[in-house]
Amino acid sequence: MRWDRMRWALVVTLLTGALLTGCGKSTKVTSLAAAAQELSAKEFKFGGVPSSVDAGRVDLTLRNTGKQPHDIQLLKMDGGHTLDEFLPVIEGEGTPIPDWAHAEGGVGVVAPGSTLQTSLNLPPGNYAYFCTQGEGDQAHVKLGMRGNFTVTGKASKHALPKPDAKVAGHEYAFNVKNLKAGRQTVEFRNTGAQLHHFFMAPIQQGKTFAEAKAALLAPPDQQTGPPPVDFDKGTGVEVLDPGTAEVSTISLSKGDYVMLCFINDRSGGPPHFTKGMLQEVRVS
């Protein structure tokens, strides 16, 4: 399994619908109508994340004030399992994903100096949160960008914001509607039976989708250089379990993009973009 990786530092704002105060204090969300407070963190640590929130709709804002990229992935863990047990999945390629781990979305890659938001519905349970960026010994989750919280109360779902565009992921393709240039809200819905997300990055000027696809799918011993895709300018959403959705803000420029899913099946194996979740998206 490959969770999106880049490098960032940030300030985190959780628009959970309640005022969250203090860094490291035990605070709990009690009202969907109350104000929100901006929470902050520096390399490489999240700060001010509440220890408990109520089940249902949660609005997250991630503000990056650092020099490296960051995101925040939420993971619900059954049966007393821990994030340490899940680290081999984060680090591995094609590693099986245990049944006790449920991807609940989060906020996708945020460039330094930028802010993105996501709205989602969280079921009750024990959660971990972590940054998926970085590589090897510099993986941000290993450098301290991780933690735990609980979601309490009865399972409930509230309406998510009406999106400007929609993307659905399933085995093994995307359905894309109304993506345009500029800042917009996008609903990503996992309509498949496996975990999915999407990441999209512009194709380099003068190159074609066919060239990008061939480079991305080439066996390692046939790769002659990096694919003609500008991953540093990419954007996307975090990983979701089947049957769930999130509404996120993203910013796109005009041009041709590749959209792909880096996640593999729960049983392991190659990433989904090698099975068809690698598509051209033209943004105008």
pLDDT tens across 115-161, in order?
888 999 999 999 999 999 888 889 999 999 999 999 999 988 889 99
Of 76, 39, 79, which Cα lies nearest the Cα of 150? 76
Average pLDDT over residues 98-114: 91
The residue with tokens 């999945």 is: 89
The pLDDT of residue 264 is 97
Instruction: State the Cα–Cα distance between residues 215 and 273, nearest whole angstrom.
Output: 12
What is the total residue count of the chain? 284
Of 91, 260, 102, 72, which Cα lies nearest the Cα of 194? 102
Q: Which fold has domain 165-283?
A: Immunoglobulin-like (2.60.40)
- CA 139 from chain center: how many Å? 15
Average pLDDT over residues 67-93: 93
pLDDT tens per residue across span 50-61 = 888 889 998 888
Q: How far apart are the first and last CA of the chain?
A: 32
Average pLDDT over residues 202-230: 93
| CA Rg value for the chain | 18
Three-state SS across 194-208? Answer: CCECCEEEEECCCCC
Instruction: State the Cα–Cα distance between residues 105 and 212, nearest whole angstrom.
Output: 27
Instruction: State the Cα–Cα distance between residues 261 and 172, nearest whole angstrom.
Output: 9
Of 19, 49, 46, 55, which Cα lies nearest the Cα of 34? 19
The pLDDT of residue 199 is 97
Cis peptide bond upstream of 257, omega within 30:
no
pLDDT tens per residue across span 3-36 = 443 322 222 333 333 323 233 333 333 333 222 4
What is the CATH code of the structural domain delimited by 11-152? 2.60.40
3 state SS of 160:
coil
Q: What are the domain boundaries of the chain?
A: 11-152, 165-283
